[in-house]
A and B are shown apart, each in its own frame.
Chain A
Amino acid sequence: MRHTISILVENKPGVLARISSLFSARGFNIDSLAVGETEQRDISRMTIVVKGDEKILEQVMKQLNKLIDVIKVIDFVEQPHLERDLVLIKVNAGKGKRSEVLEIVDIFRAKIVDVASNTVIVEMTGDEEKILALVNMLKPFGIKEMVRTGIVAMGRG
């Protein structure tokens, strides 16, 4: 099952290594990872998306809580929350195709942020599903490059 885990940590060197090694030591691949400062400068929030065996994941959650630099761990599986990911896609958009690409971008309420003679860069924010849908639509034109920030999540209310 897919889990979105939000971890509040001390903003210190070595913390990321401690956390990622908990996953890697158990053979878990991290699907996405986003880190940034919170409203308090000395605290960072990591949002990690992983899939894996529930029992092992339960153990990883306990181990995360045990880490001295970890202040709080939330598994969003258990509560209503928002997820957002930002994607930049460089897609082929030569003369005959450009208007078709623009149409799709429009429908998804995405943005064109860069234009070159044969390509455009599309920027969009959304959850996993929306991003996959956009990617699928743009694939036939030829995606040259894609980059994602990784999912960030926040509890509702």
Chain B
Amino acid sequence: MKLTGAQIFVESLIKEKVEIMFGIPGGALLPTFDVLYGAPIKFILARHEQGAAHMADGYARATGKVGVCIATSGPGATNLTTGLATANMDSIPIVAFTGQVATHLVGNDAFQEADTTGVTRSITKYNYLVKDIKELASTIKEAFCIARTGRPGPVLIDLPVDVQRASCEFVYPREVDIRSYKPKYDGHPQQIKKAVEMIKESERPVIYAGGGIIISGASEELREMAKITQIPVTLTLMGMGAFPQDSELFLGMLGMHGTYFANQAIQNSDLIIAIGARFDDRITGRLDGFAPKAKIIHVDIDPTSISKNVKVDIPIVGDAKNVIKEMNKLLSKLGPRNIEKRKKWQKQISAWKKENPLTYKKDDKLRPQYVVEKIYEVTKGKAIITTEVGQNQMWAQQFYKYNYPRHFITSGGLGTMGYGFPAAIGAKLGKPEKIVFDIAGDGSIQMNIQEMATAVNNKVGVKVAILNNGYLGMVRQWQQLFYKKRYSATDLTANPDFVKIAEAYGASGIRVTKKDEAEGALRKAISTDGPVILDFLVEREENVFPMVPAGARLDEVIRGLA
């Protein structure tokens, strides 16, 4: 049977088991939206395409499925780009569709035309311009395959309006075979053996794990590895939730705002076992002073991540879950003597932990860290937390204990302010049974606050906790520490009334000004149906500590201001 391009699009999504998609229609997508009307795919109308992309991303991170978003040609497509770049940096599977002007107009500066594949080439894993209706079904099949396999990422399909209207026979391919794309999932057995040998020899090892653990679903295997070897574990921001935070072996996050003890452990280690992490500059600090005594084993599915920043002794290309499983088989044979020789190392780490725990000033003032701790308490650590970017993100990481994967959703690589709120909406739609909190700053929340209309419209009961300090707080902190307190363009005292904004959208708003009101307000927000904004007026010049200044060594840390 012959179908139109628009029908093929929808039928292909159904074949891919897409349940929900996020986006905004437009002139170049009219045929497609006509078919979507009444199709068995839930469509969430966003209020800005960036919001739609972040929703698809939040949905993907919370569920592990591919997120789908759609935007029209020209401005719709360019508005998607921040969302695509965010997903690309954090390896999140998204398939994005964009309308395009008719094929005979492509390249003619037509109305609402942008060179979408050109613009998005470097911020997607792959992209397509479909000029022939006969290639549409196989392109969609390929796109989903590329998005979810290997190191996942966003894939974009640009769909000219005449291709949506054209028709051809619909055959959805069963399988994809791309001769030049064969991700490698199994680690090389010889390399794995060598790695285990190196672990056996080590006296001060540390496991440094990242988002790759969450993507490959390797949390169980990671826990097992730490258990049988008694090696302490530090996680990256992207890895939060991959290892239980109440474990004795947990060191917290490492890097710029990592814990003192995680950074000390890394700097003094004789072996780093890096899994699904990429030695980003926020992790390593000054490269030539990073872990000077350590040998490095690096497990990653992406060979380009290995030896990119830090020279690696044993590279293992493969999927984290598969590789850890194989390593565990060999590690479990090493026996208790192997653990014995690390006793001294464990004692040293405990001492560091006692010496410099993560903390903040506990007085009667409403401090942002306290708010995060309270969110942890009232949700019993079971909520999905999304964050914006800046101080709010770091406090959300430091003072909420993440014990489960896919429960901490944050823009790690790109650092996108305005990410958390739409991501929370996507996460909540993917996991409706979960309490979902966006821990926000007063600066970030205003970058995508229009999505409150989307949340209200679709009855998505996300809770937004604004840690409102009236500043672009992280930039202000750097200005305070490194630019003589010259607060250039960081004062936001002209903020709107966030409670009234919530109410204007038809949501609920609660303002909290005192410490003892926080818990009650949080409980009230959770028991309220629908979206809620909590406006916490926190201490204005609270800082995120510890902090390793940019370009410093991990042990050159500012622990706090006297």
Contact = CB atoms under 8 A, between A and B. Distances in A.
Interface of A: 9-10, 13-14, 17-18, 21, 25, 58-59, 62-63, 65-71
B359 interface: no
A67 B302 CA distance: 11
Contacts of A58: 307
A14 B117 contact: yes
Contact of B180 (A10, A14, A21, A63): A10
B304 A21 contact: no
A65 B178 CA distance: 14
B304 A68 contact: no
A62 B304 contact: yes
Given A13-B129, A68-B181, A25 B122 contact: yes
A59 B127 CA distance: 22
6 contacts: A9-B180, A10-B180, A14-B127, A63-B304, A65-B303, A69-B180
B180 A71 contact: yes
Interface string B108-136: 00000000011001100111010000000
A68 to B, nearest CB: 5
A116 B193 CA distance: 71
Contacts of A65: 303-304
Contacts of B180: 9-10, 67-71
Interface in B170-200: 178-181
Contacts of B118: 17
Nearest to B117: A14
A13 B158 CA distance: 14
Contacts of B181: 68
**Chain B CB within 10 Å — which of A13, A14, A67, A68 has the most?**
A68
Interface of B: 117-118, 121-122, 125-127, 129, 146, 178-181, 302-304, 307-308
A71 B307 CA distance: 22
B43 to A, nearest CB: 29
A21 to B, nearest CB: 6
Nearest to A8: B180
A46 B146 CA distance: 24
A66 B118 CA distance: 19
Given A10-B180, A59-B304, 7 more contacts: A14-B117, A14-B121, A14-B127, A21-B122, A58-B307, A68-B181, A69-B180
Given A13-B129, A17-B118, A21-B121, A66 B302 contact: yes
Interface of chain B: mostly helix, strand, loop or mixed: mixed
A21 B122 CA distance: 8
Given A14-B117, A14-B121, A71-B179, A66 B146 contact: no
Nearest to B179: A71
A154 to B, nearest CB: 21
Interface centre among A17, A58, A66, A70 (most CB of B within 10 A): A66
Contacts of B307: 58
B489 to A, nearest CB: 30
B121 A18 contact: yes
Enumerate the 5 nearest inter-chain pairs by beta-carbon distance, A residue then B residue, closest first. Answer: A62-B304, A71-B180, A68-B181, A68-B126, A66-B304
B181 to A, nearest CB: 5
A66 B303 contact: yes
Contacts of A59: 304, 308
B208 to A, nearest CB: 21
Contacts of A70: 180
Given A14-B117, A25-B122, A68 B178 contact: yes
B217 to A, nearest CB: 23
Contacts of A14: 117, 121, 127, 129
B65 to A, nearest CB: 22
A113 B180 CA distance: 41
Contacts of B122: 21, 25
Contacts of B303: 62, 65-66
B156 to A, nearest CB: 12
Nearest to B126: A68
B149 to A, nearest CB: 11
A18 B304 CA distance: 16
Contact of B121 (A10, A17, A71): A17
Nearest to A22: B122
B95 to A, nearest CB: 15
Nearest to A65: B303
A151 B127 CA distance: 30
Nearest to A72: B180
Contacts of A9: 180
Nearest to B178: A68
A117 B225 CA distance: 82
B305 to A, nearest CB: 9
A10 B181 CA distance: 11
A13 B303 CA distance: 26
A68 B180 CA distance: 6
B145 to A, nearest CB: 11
A68 B183 CA distance: 10
